Structure 1
Amino acid sequence: MTTNVMACIDGSGFAGAVCDFASWASLRLDAPLTLIHVLDKAKQPDLADLSGTIGLGTQEHLLEELAGLDEQRARLAKEQGRLMLEAARERAVKDGVNEPTTLQRHGELVDTLVEFEPHTRLLVLGRHGEDSDSAFAHLGSHVEQVIRAVHRPVLVTLGEFKAPQHIMLAFDGSATTRKGVEMLAQSPLFKGLSCHLVLVGADTDDNREQLNWAKTTLETAGIHAPARIVAGDVDKVLGQYQQDNHIDLMVMGAYGHSRIRQWLVGSTTTAMIAAAKAPLLVLR
């Protein structure tokens, strides 16, 4: 089965970075690129909800006019999405991608992405959708929902695209981050890059052993892997390390050790996505 890099395109200011990051990943992975725009039905008004307020029968002509406006609005939204996808396709071609494909779907964003999960190798989306006013506003619910629902790596972008050279893996010895180390070692996405390993915690024999395993695994694969154990609050330590070491891309597991987090995005992951000053790859 062919698996694609899937990029979510919308009308936000992040769409350009999403397209560029997805193109970069598509080329490095030698995987097809699919650009998708979802017309979210949740944003469309339900005229049935208005009938009681207006007074069905006495104001029936107003409902008919509203229905006509709703149809026109839906056509315009579809055309706007088509134009955004075409612009993204042209941008991806300029980035060097051969024959990117475009898809437009009606429905819930999360449900649509889950539907395409079997065909997805990497999902790329902006930290905030087109309804967000600020790049550093509260983390949009869609991002959290996607990370919970889609069992594929999710690359959350922000700002302008810059081809990553120095990445950082937040390592805690959990099964998720051990799997993440193995993924990094095997993936052509990170070939030739430096991968900083950061374990936030006490400098114990067990933590050193875990970190040495990760370092050896990456270096055996030919990846330069500086490794450090740092005490402190996880989100603050990782954010400061990113800034001090000019990290272009941070990598985290969506869940830690706790079984209850099977149903919730890990609080550290959520905090890091909201506060990050660099794109973040979330592993599942």
Structure 2
Amino acid sequence: MTYKTVLVHVDNGKYCPARLRMAVHLARRFDAHLVGLHAMTAVRLPAYAIAEAGATLIEAQKEVAREQARGAENLFRKATEGAGMASVEWRVSADDAVDATTLHARYADVVVLGQSREGDGAGVETDFPEQVVLAAGRPVLVVPYAGNFEGVGKRVLVAWDAGREATRALTDAIPLLREAEQVHVVAFNPEGTAHGAVPGADIGLYLARHGVRVEVGYHRADDIDVGNQLLSRVADLGIDLIVMGAYGHSRLRELIMGGATRTVLQSMTAPVLLSH
């Protein structure tokens, strides 16, 4: 398994250039086709506003959307042409950002998104990455808004709880794990029989058979939540990529994320590859 199609969401936000650099790096590293997608959160106007303004308002909205799409395309072209990339593709969707990205993700091996930040001008909802992770069925690499990340995956931390989501994330990350200098598999507060006699030992053997240079351990601190334990280990080990399962579900349009997932997405200090 390798990555042969990389999808990156492109907007006019302040932090989009860093996300594009990451996507270009991944595509070049794996000799992959890079797809840039522009789609914004749909603006739903109240009926009375449409009735009063009519066609004038609708046309003004369309012109703003066209201008945003042109700006995003210019960013994408600048990043890919500057890197000398030939296998690239630009797409624009009028659908809502979550729906469009979820659909296009079905035909990609990995999706690159940016960490949300209020007021960054991205034109998407603040829970956009979380919604895509839960709906896409593809691994999503989320790039922090703070920091400089020219590459990814030399020193990797895999958060392991022997669950379905963590298994999916780990196997989705194997192309990156194989090339890593060091992979740390860490079980935080391990409980139950799924871990076996030694937490992490079985998944460590699985990764070793894939040629991954792996170290296995577990970390227990019952007075500290798992998300903050994980972020602490990231700092201690100089990690440049976190791999973890995304836990959560949508209920009546409310997004409910697992505690560790929510903590990491809010406070990440390194790129995070998530799968659900």
Question: Could you say what secondary structure the match of 1:119 adopts?
Answer: coil
Alignment of 1:96-245 (within 5 A): 96-128=84-116, 132-133=118-119, 140-158=126-144, 159=146, 160-164=148-152, 165-185=154-174, 187=175, 190-202=178-190, 206=195, 209-232=198-221, 233-245=225-237
Check whether the contact 2:139–2:172 (CA below 8 A) recurs between aligned residues: no
Corresponding residue for 1:4? 5
C-alpha distance 96-171 of structure 1, shift in aligned 2 (>3 A): farther
How many residues align? The count is 260
1:189 CA displacement: 6.6
Normalized against structure 2, the TM-score is what? Answer: 0.82
Q: Deviations over 1:49-81 (max 9, x none)?
A: 226xxxx7xxx6xx36xx425423421331232
Q: Is residue 82 of structure 2 the alignment partner of residue 94 of structure 1?
A: yes
**Can you list the C-alpha shifts for 1:114-141, whole angstroms capped at 9, x where unaligned?**
2223312111111116xx2379xxx922
Contact 2:185 2:217 in 1 (8 A): yes
Contact 1:248 1:278 in 2 (8 A): yes
Change (3 A) 1:279 1:188: closer
Say which one has the larger Rg. 1
Give the ranges of 4+ consecutive aligned residues of structure 1 lying more than 4 Å apart after TM superposition: 202-208
Give, in angstroms, the shift of residue 249 of structure 1: 1.1
Aligned to 1:275: 267
- CA distance 1:134–1:241, shift in 2 (3 Å): farther
TM-score by length of 1: 0.80
For the 8 Å contact 2:9–2:101, the answer to whether it is kept is no
Offset at 1:227? 2.0
- Aligned residues: percent identity? 23
Deviates more, 1:243-252 or 1:156-165: 156-165
Quote the RMSD (CA, aligned, Å): 3.0
The CA distance in 2 between the partners of 1:7 and 1:201, in whole Å, is: 34
Deviation at 1:221, TM superposition (A): 2.6
Q: How many angstroms apart in 2 are the aligned matches of 1:281 and 1:188?
A: 10
**Cα distance in 2, alignment partners of residues 245 and 188 from structure 1:** 18
Indicate the residue corresponding to 2:43 in structure 1: 43
Q: Give the counterpart letter for 2:15 in structure 1.
A: F
Gaps of 5+ in 1: none
